[in-house]
Amino acid sequence: MSSPRRVSDNAVPAMPGPLKISDYHVVARPRLGRWISGALIIAILAMIGYAFATGKIEWEYFWQFMTVPTILAGVANTVLLAVLAMIIGVVLGTVFAIMRGSDNPIMRSVAFGYIWLFRGTPVLLQLMLWYNLALVFPTVGIPGVWSMRMIDLMSPFWAALLGLGLNQGAYTAEVIRAGLLSVDTGQYEAAKTIGMTRLKALRRIVLPQAMRVVIPPLGNEFILLVKTTSLASVIQFSEVMYNAGTIYYSNARVVELLFVAGAWYLILVSFLTLFQIPLERHFAKGSLSR
């Protein structure tokens, strides 16, 4: 009668089976939706593939032109233009992002004006304006010392580089500014209290932390830029689109050569995506996941 109650026996009624999931066989839920949608997509892809395989495309031309010197030279020019324009963009973007955060109102307005102007007009128009600068300024130079005809100076390459670089700088400035804003103000203050100037604090403390946030959108920008270089074909810069064009004007294999150019853009962009991973890892130094 007065023996202590055995809680486990009394409170918990007998269980209808084992108490651990691992003692059971878990029966997977049927995934009918997945099978149907998967089958549908495969069917659609097969139809598209069939259409292209039997369409008026000569695939041997595609493979043949992938590696002809004109196309390879175009690819090299595309890469050169994209890389140099991105470097200009990152340098200008960093400078203007810092200027926008300056306490000097003149610096702030200059940065604001630059971003406003270059983001607010189409890049195609900017490229054409740079290319046609000779119409406005026939010669450049220091009067009496040195001068040059603008038409010689503003080759398609320089016009494209200037146009894309300046345009990229305006976009990159906003990306980097977002990165700078993402860094806690306590970091600026800690840097200040150990005696750093504003610029040193930016370079040593704030920018390295901002890079973590900035690299994914910068990767995005770079990928966009690689493809935007195709606009330089309009001002006769011999990048891959322009060179594909020169070939199909003579042999009329328009679609095959567009495919060649498209394949090269895909290859370049895939390569860049791979390159981004180690870069992100480098700037994640000290973050929690280590």
Partner 1 sequence: MTAADLARPEGGQPLLRICNVTKKFQDYVALDDVSLSVSKGEVVCLIGGSGSGKTTLLRCINQLHDINDGTIWLEDELVGYRQDGLKLYPLTEKETIRQRLKSGMVFQRFNLFPHMTALQNITEGPVQVLKTPRQVAEATAMKLLERVGLATKASSYPSQLSGGQQQRVAIARALAMNPKIMLFDEPTSALDPELVGEVLAVMRELAHSGMTMVVVTHELGFAREVADRVVFMDRGVIVEEGPASEVLVSPREARTQAFISAVIG
- Residue ranges in contact with partner 1 by CB under 8 A: 184, 186-187, 189-198, 200, 204-205, 208-209, 283, 285-288, 290
CB of 31 or CB of 204, closer to partner 1: 204
CB of 167 or CB of 209, closer to partner 1: 209
Residue 176: name the closest of 237, 104, 96, 71 by CA: 96
From the CB of 186, what's the least distance to partner 1, in Å? 4
Q: How big is the chain by its Cα radius of gyration, in Å?
A: 30
> CA 282 from chain center: how many Å?
18
Q: How far is CA 55 from CA 50, 52, 190, 254, 255, in A?
A: 8, 5, 66, 14, 11
3-class state of residue 15 by DSSP: coil
Q: Phi-psi category of 213—alpha, beta or left, where left has phi over 0 and alpha has psi -120 to 50?
A: alpha
From the CB of 111, what's the least distance to partner 1, in Å? 20
Q: Phi-psi category of 3—alpha, beta or left, where left has phi over 0 and alpha has psi -120 to 50?
A: beta
For the chain, helix, strand, coil in percent to 5 are: 75, 5, 20
From the CB of 110, what's the least distance to partner 1, in Å? 21
CB of 145 or CB of 288, closer to partner 1: 288
From the CB of 182, what's the least distance to partner 1, in Å? 12
From the CB of 207, what's the least distance to partner 1, in Å? 10
CB of 187 or CB of 276, closer to partner 1: 187
From the CB of 199, what's the least distance to partner 1, in Å? 9
* Alpha carbons 183 and 204: distance in angstroms, whole number: 13
Q: How far is CA 254 from CA 65, 228, 230, in A?
A: 12, 20, 16
Alpha helices, H only, 15-68: 32-54, 59-66
From the CB of 239, what's the least distance to partner 1, in Å? 38
Structure token digits, residue 232:
């330089």
CB of 9 or CB of 103, closer to partner 1: 103
CB of 201 or CB of 232, closer to partner 1: 201
Please name the residues in contact with 154: beta carbons below 8 A apart, sequence gap of 6 or more.
130, 131, 133, 134
CB of 22 or CB of 287, closer to partner 1: 287
CB of 198 or CB of 227, closer to partner 1: 198
From the CB of 210, what's the least distance to partner 1, in Å? 10
In this structure, the number of other CB atoms found within 10 A of the CB of residue 43 comes to 10
